[in-house]
């Protein structure tokens, strides 16, 4: 997530420079042929180009709206995880009791640390690369990784989970396919055991189980966004329309500027190149921005900052436990939070 007021041009222009090169080539070739070889037939009426541009603008706007909705839904889900985690923390502290205060504190710590393990396993699962994601397949995204690092790619899940789980739980969780799901299952088993031992009343036990259900709901929503890509048919048609429009754009401008030759001279034709580049760049960048927004957990600079959110939850819950040695908050790298 970028937390600056806006992307600086020194970052944005290099990120989109391939689109600029593309439009430069598409604009120069027909202009040279028209001017030096007198291929007047290259100039096509502006009307079909404008109609295609209208359709392209419509489908690009639709895609960007839908991909933004995916990102905003992902942020809402993680907002709910923040609230449910805090609620689970205070319920754990206030509902789980024992005459042995040392044991009571250990139980609180064990359950809340197991919740940290769930947050850790979930964010690692969400950062796994899917075949349809663009962060490592597109050169401009790979190059932009020099401005920030994705913590889940730099660290090891085993090492992070080991600090939150007992040895037996750690070994069991590593043997499972969906670690986050099984960690909540462990939480439920522990709560059931404490209820049977009388450390949690029946009413409070139900309330805590409902919190686990809410966490499952939020995890399921994250998995739905992660595992269901923006529909390929809409993504493909937007790509095809945009590229076709950019190819035809210089031919339409040749037609328009050739009408002004008598008034301004033949050199007016060369304006085809800058105008085609600017307008084509706008449409190509709209497509690229939509593409960079459609997968909000892939490790992109515009992603939901799941690592930072998870760390903030950990800090809040550790303070509830009365711990003083708190981990530092995640800091932004070049105004990018992950």
Residue with tokens 């359950």: 111
The domain locations on the chain are: 9-320
Closest to 138 (Cα-Cα) out of 15, 307, 4, 262: 15
Give the DSSP H or E segment for 142.
helix 139-144
Q: Give per-residue pLDDT as tens, 77-114.
A: 999 999 999 999 999 999 999 889 999 999 999 999 99
Q: Give per-residue pLDDT as tens, 163-189.
A: 999 999 999 999 999 999 999 999 999
What burial letters (b/e) apply to 328-337, b meaning 16+ CB within 10 Å? eebeeeebbb
Total-model pTM: 0.92
Show the beta-strand stretches assigned E in 39-130. none
Q: Give per-residue pLDDT as tens, 16-33.
A: 999 999 999 999 999 999
Q: Does the structure show a pLDDT above 90 at 216? A: yes
Please count the other Cβ atoms lying within 10 Å of the Cβ belonging to residue 254: 24
């Amino acid at each position: 997530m970028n937390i600056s007021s806006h992307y600086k041009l020194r970052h944005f222009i290099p990120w989109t420079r391939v689109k600029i090169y593309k439009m430069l080539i598409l604009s120069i070739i027909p202009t040279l042929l028209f001017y030096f070889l007198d291929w007047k037939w290259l100039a096509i009426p502006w009307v079909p180009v404008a109609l295609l541009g209208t359709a392209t603008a419509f489908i690009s706007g639709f895609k960007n709206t839908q991909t933004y909705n995916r990102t905003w839904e992902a942020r809402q889900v993680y907002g709910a995880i923040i609230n449910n985690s805090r609620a689970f923390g205070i319920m754990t502290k206030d509902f789980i009791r024992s005459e042995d205060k040392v044991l009571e504190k250990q139980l609180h710590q064990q359950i809340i640390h197991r919740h940290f393990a769930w947050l850790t396993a979930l964010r690692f699962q969400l950062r796994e690369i899917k075949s349809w994601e663009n962060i490592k397949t597109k050169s401009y995204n790979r190059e932009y990784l020099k401005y920030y690092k994705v913590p889940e790619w730099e660290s090891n899940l085993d090492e992070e989970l080991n600090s939150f789980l007992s040895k037996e739980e750690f070994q069991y969780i590593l043997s499972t396919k969906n670690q986050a799901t099984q960690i909540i299952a462990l939480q439920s088993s522990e709560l059931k055991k404490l209820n049977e031992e009388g450390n949690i009343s029946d009413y409070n036990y139900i309330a805590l189980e409902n919190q686990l259900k809410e966490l499952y709901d939020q995890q399921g929503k994250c998995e739905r966004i992660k595992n269901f890509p923006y529909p390929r048919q809409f993504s493909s048609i937007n790509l095809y329309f945009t590229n076709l429009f950019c190819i035809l754009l210089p031919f339409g401008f040749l037609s328009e500027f050739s009408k002004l030759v008598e008034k301004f001279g033949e050199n007016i034709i060369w304006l085809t190149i800058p105008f085609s580049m600017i307008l084509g760049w706008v449409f190509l960048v709209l497509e690229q921005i939509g593409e960079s927004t459609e997968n909000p957990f892939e490790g992109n600079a515009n992603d939901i900052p799941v690592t930072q959110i998870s760390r903030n939850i950990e800090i809040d819950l550790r303070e509830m436990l009365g711990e003083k040695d708190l981990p530092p908050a995640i800091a932004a790298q070049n105004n990018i939070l992950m």
